[in-house]
Amino acid sequence: MGLTVIILAAGQGTRMRSATPKVLQALAGRPLLGHVLDCAAALAADDVCVVYGHGGEAVRAAFPEAALRWTLQAERLGTGDAVRQAMPETPGGNRVLVLFGDVPLLRPATCRRLIDETPEGDVAVLTVDAEDPAGYGRIIRRDGRVSRIVEQEDAGPDELLVREINTGVLACPGDRLRGWLDRLGKDNAQGEYYLTDVVGMAVGDGVAVHGVKADDETEVMGINDRKQLAEAERALQARLVDELMEQGVGFADPGRVDIRGTLTCGKDVYVDVNAVFEGDVVLGDGVRVESNNLVRDSRLGAGTVLHSHCHLEGATTGENCEIGPFSRLRPGAELASDVKVGNFVEIKKSTVAAGSKVNHLTYVGDAEVGAMVNVGAGTITCNYDGADKHRTTIGDRASIGSNVNLIAPVTVGEGATIGAGSTIAKDAPAGQLTIARARQRSIDGWKRPVKKGTK
């Protein structure tokens, strides 16, 4: 039997107080809906349908490459109506799993249990034992199976003591679901079609309804406001860090790290406090990340040390590099092995070959730096002429003195030395000393200007 996953994502999320649709609010650097789509993909569903509404075009535009079926719920008439909108194109004979775009922490393994532990012709609802069940529909069982779901306002004294609640996640045969959805009414306080009414219909038709419990409340929490979003963020971060620690990654404080994407680590990696990883980040064996760093879409080679207060984006390093503190590597920065990039150095769209050092207060942009080069403090590759970018090439074993301006396009030959304070606008020959600065002189009798009226 095939599997259709229907994700309900039409809600406005007014309690977010945001122009961004609720399902596009960021959790660990990705939209809430993205996490739910990952869950559906992990289940290998052959049909995934997203029911959208508020902010619909923005929601669709956020996932342009996803193999999805999109269904518009023009009027928000309840969860039952939302699922009904998706049913006409649902493949016949498929089992249907209903998920929610604002429930991002649900694990694929939990959904798989919901499906695998339920006979194909039966219905399954995902439940959880709540610490405080107030406000939620209670699961009433008879002989172990779900007999009905009682909403808070309709529950009697004994039913109010029940801690097992309905999460809304439902799995059932698609053909039967079609019939139940067609029978839904909206004779209720909200004037909406409730998906939960399907449970009562199934029981009435003699179909077994199984209640499968999630491991904890956090996994099934819905996101409706900023506070819940922040709680989900910390819960997901704890989950991601736990998984990495199980793989052998060391953290100074697991509660003070943020992973907003994918972090892949080798052996003996250590991460200090307040590190933020965004996008696709790979840390090789023995990499050490000190405190207060942001690393985005970058790869650090084995043995590399990232000192405190650095900002890396789109950068790649070889083995045993040393970066920082207070360094910035921008997109296209490629360091070979044993490269040293020191404090207040910025490198952009440049390659730095093995063993070279760029230690202090330097900007290297649109450049090719050879091997075993030493770049002095205050050096700038002047790559922009106001209209176009130009490249600087520095040969192997060159030595660039402090406070040097290299006006691109320019080439510094192998083994060349550039004297401190020079402005180099022409190619510097290999193996020679090149100096370009005004002759020093002292003016006899010169006096510093003073303000009028002062002695």
DSSP 258-269: EEEEEEEE-TT-
HSE, CB side, 13 Å, CA atoms: give it for residue 222: 18
Which amino acid, residue 369? V
For the chain, the domains span 3-220, 247-434
| Cα–Cα distance measured from residue 271 to residue 294, given in angstroms and rounded to the nearest whole number | 12
The count of other CB atoms within 10 Å of the CB of residue 338 is: 20
Which uninterrupted H or E stretch holds 239? helix 226-246
Block residue for tokens 């790559």: 383
Model confidence pTM above 0.85: yes
pLDDT at residue 388 above 90? yes
Q: What is the pLDDT of residue 192?
A: 86
pLDDT at residue 427 above 80? yes
Active site residues: 360
CA angle at 404 for the pair 402 and 409, rounded to the nearest 5°: 145
pLDDT, tens digit, 9 for 90 and up, residues 72-94: 998 888 999 999 999 999 998 99
pLDDT at residue 52 above 80? yes
The strand ranges marked E within 311-356 are 311-313, 316-317, 322-323, 327-329, 334-335, 340-348, 351-352
What CATH number does domain 3-220 carry, 3.40.50.150, 3.90.550.10, 3.30.2350.10, 2.130.10.10? 3.90.550.10
Mean of all residue pLDDT scores within the chain: 94
- Are 397 and 384 in contact, with CB atoms under 8 Å apart? no
247-434 has CATH 3.40.190.100 classification:
no
- Are 332 and 348 in contact, with CB atoms under 8 Å apart? yes
pLDDT, tens digit, 9 for 90 and up, residues 24-44: 999 999 999 999 999 999 999
SS3 286: coil
Provide DSSP, 294-316. Answer: EEES-EE-TT-EE-SS-EEES-E
- Percent above pLDDT 90 for the chain: 85
Token pair for residue 28? 């660990």
pLDDT, tens digit, 9 for 90 and up, residues 299-332: 999 999 999 999 999 999 999 999 999 999 999 9
| CA distance to 271, 298, 306, 430, per residue, from 290 (Å) | 6, 16, 6, 39
Q: What is the pLDDT of residue 297?
A: 98
- pLDDT interval class at 11 (50, 70, 90): confident
| CA distance to 84, 124, 167, per residue, from 110 (Å) | 24, 12, 12
pLDDT at residue 256 above 80? yes
- Percent above pLDDT 70 for the chain: 99
Q: What is the pLDDT of residue 455?
A: 64
Paired residues of 42 in beta bridges: none
| Cα–Cα distance measured from residue 224 to residue 102, given in angstroms and rounded to the nearest whole number | 8
